[in-house]
Amino acid sequence: MKLSFQEKVYAITKRIPRGKVATYGQIARLAGKPRAARMVGFFMKTNPHAPIVPCHRVVAANGALTGYSVKGGLEAKRKMLLREDVKFRGDRADLKVSQWQA
């Protein structure tokens, strides 16, 4: 059975471990469409499988926290990542330390 791009995105996101983050572009590349980072963002925004698919672990290419539609917004996303021991530099996830290497 061939997975759709959306199904691939959710399957990849599900593999991001606690304490790590991935970027929208990274997930797009892993799912076979390197120029579809915005589409990945849309899938995270409309994720029907949270928290099984941990969309809060997906960040911008520079580590910025973006687009979190759950109650509490970006502050809730930041608190969840801090509880999972994701490292930050200022208000951005420190990708040198916390980026997931698939």
Question: What CATH number is attached to the domain comprising 12?
Answer: 1.10.10.10
As for how many domains the chain has, the answer is: 1
| Length of the chain, in residues | 102
Out of 21, 31, 40, 55, the active site residue is: 55
Does 100 fall in a domain? no
pLDDT tens digits, 2-60: 999 999 999 999 999 999 999 999 999 999 999 999 999 999 999 999 889 999 999 99
pLDDT of residue 98: 98
Look up 15 and say whether it is catalytic.
no
Closest CA to 56 of 82, 85, 80: 80
Task: Supply the range of the domain harboring residue 52.
Answer: 5-91
DSSP 8-state assignment for residue 31? T
pTM of the predicted structure, to 2 decimals: 0.94
